Amino acid sequence: MLTIENMPQLYPSDFDLYLFHEGTLYEGYKLFGAHYIEGELGNGFRFTVWAPNARAISVVGDFNDWKPNSHPLKMVKHSGVWTGFIQDLSENVRYKYAIETRSGTIIFKADPFAFYAEKRPATASMTSRLDRYEWHDHKWLRTREKIDIYHRPMAIYECHLGSWKTKDGELMSYRELADELPDYVCDKGFTHIELMPIMEHPFDRSWGYQVTGLFAPTSRFGSPEDFMYFVDACHARGIGVILDWAPAHFCRDAHGLGRFDGTPLYEPVDPRLADRPQWGTYNFDFSKNEVVSFLISSARFWMDVFHVEGFRIDAVSSMVYLNHNDDLPYRLTNKNGGEENLEGIEFLKKLNATIFIKFPSALMIAEEATDYPLVTAPVDKGGLGFNYKWNMGWVHDILRYMSFPPEQRRDHHQLITFSMLYAYSENFILSFSHDELVYGKRSLLNKMPGDMWQKFANLRALYGYFITHPGKKLLFMGSEFAQFDEWKDLEQVDWKLLDQYETHRSFLKFSTALNHFYQEHACLWRLDHEGEGFEWIDADNNQQSVISFIRRGKRKGDYCIVVCNFTPTVYHDFKIGVPNAGTYLEMFNSDAELYGGSGQCNTEPVEAEDAPWNNQPYALKVTLPPLGMSIFMKETKKRLQEFTAHN
């Protein structure tokens, strides 16, 4: 074995160590972990790990029969960082760190910076190289840098790779998924795919939210290069890739980060701050600069090495508030006596500011469930620095509204209109996510009241409002064809429904057509985050449970009229106000027979009357479909051709 003394160029530099301890080593993955080194003195892997309270550390694996002290590491200048080089070590070799604690006990830990891990339930890290995959997405990356994401359509398909589709009852590989999933997502009218965490995790049913490897795509589906192939395939189809990422907490498994060197290291020393009883995990200690370097390096790693577009940050509320969602016998307070997690807030600001310096078009999406202000405001404006936030308030309100029988909805009308009072307080994504479809909450279809026809009609109306309401969109897998059962994380999506039932095939046609209609009409997304992009026509018709509004684009005359009827009553000659004279065409109707509806459509052009109505100078008389959504647009030559083709 060559020693570090023989190869001084392998030492971490003083500057790197300074940055690491300062909390600004944002590319820590280039230093820490197992790195293949080629040189005149030999080829092999250099290992570097942070464990300041260890008495000794060695690398163990199949190559030394897992015997501690066979390949010892050396601490660099009392920095708490240990490093060493093992000559002639090949790729895909299992290893761990044997760490001698202060008490003399030896514990075996996976590498926090490992790029690859052996397949669960085994827990060792694997040596790996990430520099040999030949990417084909150069044009995509150049184009991505120039995209104004705020003024573009965004329809996200949230996906759990382990249960999207299986093969003979087994998990599909990244490469098998790459050959099917990007095509499916693109064909169904989505612009992005959001993957529930694929960072390495020991327990399938944690869904990836309780990690052991923040730098390793889980080996359940293949190697790191296989995941690169998957991302590349998504980009080839014009699909952006968003990763769920959970920097709030980590699992307690013995081989993981917990008490890494025999002492609380990645978690706070105070057990009240360290424990997350609700999830059975440890919180990260954001007061330690080294932990900040570690976490920001993880985010940079996935963007630098795997070319992903960004992250949906899980459990932001628990990073912002010390007592969020924990039923503890005590209340935690900060140094000022408040319940804000001051260090967590500073970490989030630093994370976002750092990411946007290198990746201005990144997606940094907060799952934040409280009314904490300025989540999507820039850091220099006093915000947390995210550029999007899930609009969980709208989701909960609209799902509660839709759960009422139609005859009761008049008494709860505010649930579908209240969102416009705060729609522009943040940059929102409307998210029908997996969170709404598990633990007995039922699927979206099964949340709808009425008989089977009404359930499907209600869901079409709900999707119609979802797509036309200001904000970007997210839909969980299976919901695009109205899966009847809630999400079952150990089984594949209920694809059999499409083979057995016309209702689900028709609904998939509907959601696909709606997604493509959304992408093709700028008035539905161009001004998502600007108040001039939306205007109520009538928000107050609770007696008929009808709402109508205008969505506007940037160009003059680029607008559409949206009308939603949340009752099973067909309204003929229903009068709605419109802003301009002329001929209007019904360009989309959720009640079309093609989609499983009753066919109450406006199949002829409608002329605006010169009669003020709903505070608009003109009016249309139209048919409103039962439990349906209609979109009307001013006639143009192109729209008339489309209208004629569909009628």
pLDDT digits (tens, 9 = 90+) for 328-387: 778 899 999 999 999 999 999 999 999 999 999 999 999 999 999 999 999 999 999 999
Beta-strand ranges (E) seen in 542-582 are 546-552, 559-565, 571-578
Whether the bond between 121 and the residue before it is cis, its omega within 30 degrees of 0, is: yes
**pLDDT-derived band at 2, boundaries 50, 70, 90:** very low
Question: What mean pLDDT do residues 256-262 have?
Answer: 97
pLDDT at 305: 97
Q: Considering Cα of 177, then 182, then 187, then 188, what sign does the dihedral take?
A: positive
Of 314, 397, 494, 538, catalytic: 314
**Residue 11 pLDDT more than 80?**
no
| DSSP string over 285-332 | -TTSHHHHHHHHHHHHHHHHHH---EEEETTHHHHHBTTTT---SS--
Tell me whether residue 573 is one of the annotated catalytic residues: no
Question: What mean pLDDT do residues 221-239 have?
Answer: 98
Separation of alpha carbons 31 and 27, rounded Å: 8
Per residue in 66-84, pLDDT (tens digit) is: 999 999 999 998 999 999 9
Tell me whether residue 367 is one of the annotated catalytic residues: yes
Per residue in 551-606, pLDDT (tens digit) is: 999 999 999 999 999 999 999 999 999 999 999 999 999 999 999 999 999 999 99
pLDDT at 38: 86
Cβ(574)–Cβ(612) below 8 Å: no
Alpha-carbon distance values, 383 to 169, 295, 310, 351, 369 (Å): 46, 20, 19, 12, 16
Alpha-carbon distance values, 491 to 119, 142, 176, 198, 579 (Å): 19, 38, 17, 17, 50
- pTM, whole model, 2 decimals? 0.96
| 251 CB-side CA count, 13 A | 21
Largest CA distance in the chain: 90
pLDDT at 368: 95
Question: What mean pLDDT do residues 123-129 have?
Answer: 97
Cβ(99)–Cβ(54) below 8 Å: yes
Q: Mean pLDDT for the chain?
A: 95
Rounded CA Rg of the chain? 27
Of 244, 367, 436, 480, catalytic: 367
Domains of the chain: 4-126 (2.60.40.10), 152-390 (3.20.20.80), 524-646 (2.60.40.1180)
Question: What mean pLDDT do residues 34-43 have?
Answer: 84
**pLDDT-derived band at 41, boundaries 50, 70, 90:** low
**Residue 248 pLDDT more than 80?**
yes
Report the DSSP beta bridge partners of residue 527. none
pLDDT at 278: 85
Percent of the chain with pLDDT over 70: 98
pLDDT at 5: 53
**pLDDT-derived band at 1, boundaries 50, 70, 90:** very low
Instruction: Report the amino acid identity of residue 40.
Output: E
Alpha-carbon distance values, 219 to 92, 124, 163, 297 (Å): 12, 11, 16, 21
**Residue 327 pLDDT more than 80?**
no
Per residue in 171-194, pLDDT (tens digit) is: 999 999 999 999 999 999 999 999
**pLDDT-derived band at 647, boundaries 50, 70, 90:** confident
Alpha-carbon distance values, 84 to 66, 74, 551 (Å): 16, 6, 61
Question: What mean pLDDT do residues 39-51 have?
Answer: 88
Q: Considering Cα of 536, then 397, then 435, then 246, what sign does the dihedral take?
A: positive
Cβ(204)–Cβ(198) below 8 Å: no
Nearest one of 402, 398, 420, 433 to 528, comparing CA atoms: 420
Nearest one of 341, 316, 91, 120 to 224, comparing CA atoms: 91
Separation of alpha carbons 384 and 353, rounded Å: 9
**Residue 522 pLDDT more than 80?**
yes
Cβ(428)–Cβ(471) below 8 Å: yes
**78 C-beta neighbours (distance < 10 Å), count:** 7
Separation of alpha carbons 274 and 289, rounded Å: 16
pLDDT at 31: 96
- What torsion do the CA atoms of 328, 331, 332, 335 make, to the nearest 10 degrees? 180
pLDDT at 9: 58
Per residue in 419-475, pLDDT (tens digit) is: 999 999 999 999 999 999 999 999 999 999 999 999 999 999 999 999 999 999 999
**Residue 89 pLDDT more than 50?**
yes
Separation of alpha carbons 58 and 71, rounded Å: 5
Per residue in 403-434, pLDDT (tens digit) is: 999 999 999 999 999 999 999 999 999 999 99
